[in-house]
Amino acid sequence: MSRPRLKDSEQMTIEEFLAFTEERPDGERWELIEGIAILNASPTDYHQTITGNIHGLLWLHQRQQNVTWIPLLGVGTRVPVSPRSLPQPDLMVKGAALTGTPVSDEALVLFEILSKSNTKSDQAWRKRVYASIPNCQHYVTVAQGKPLVTRFDRVSDWDKTEHTRITDALDLPALGVSLSLAEIYRGTPVATS
């Protein structure tokens, strides 16, 4: 990441970060990255549409197939390799029961809908820290402006598989789900390009 690294004594802990965000106005989206509280920019309507599409597709599958995993929006995820970080993926699929907290210690699948703020170094950092979550099987990035969905898999030591055609499908073996790119991008200009 391009931010300077603070000394450990200057970094926020997760507990300090949660106390800080508790005092912030509703609607702000904060992440703790290497001990630094980062306020994320407001997402675009394309970003939110794509996130909603994926969440809806997973939610529908979860209900129809009566599986135990749960798709969630905006939950901070502990990453063992970086104990002073609490990134908040756009969407996660939780394998364990709900806890009623804003933090999860696990995730089967994590999704990031890429924005301008997701630099190459940010994407590499997220791949590295998400790979440290013991039960995480897939990390998926979705571009907003073109059909590009990239899946990184634990089973292949986090190698990537890219889907670049609107007629492609994103397979998520850990969930037993296949999502068409046409459905992921429904309602955005990418779906009709």
Residue among 145, 144, 181, 176 at smallest CA distance from 161: 181
The DSSP H or E segment spanning 107 is: none
Q: Which CATH superfamily is domain 44-192 in?
A: tt1808, chain A (3.90.1570.10)
pLDDT at 4: 61
**Rounded Cα gap, residues 30 and 69, in angstroms:** 25
**Rounded Cα gap, residues 23 and 21, in angstroms:** 5
- pLDDT tens sequence for the chain (193 residues): 445 677 777 899 999 999 999 999 988 899 999 999 999 988 999 999 999 999 999 999 999 999 999 999 989 999 999 999 999 999 999 998 999 999 999 999 999 999 988 889 999 999 999 999 999 999 999 999 999 999 999 999 999 999 999 999 999 999 999 999 999 999 999 998 7
The full 3-state SS of 18-60, as one line of letters, equals HHHHHCCCCCCCEEEECCEEEECCCCCHHHHHHHHHHHHHHHH
Strands, E, within the chain: which ranges? 30-33, 36-39, 70-73, 76-77, 91-94, 103-104, 109-113, 138-142, 149-153, 159-163, 169-172, 177-180
pLDDT at 164: 97
**Rounded Cα gap, residues 38 and 93, in angstroms:** 23
pLDDT at 118: 86
Decide: 133 and 82 in contact? Cβ < 8 Å: no
pLDDT at 1: 42
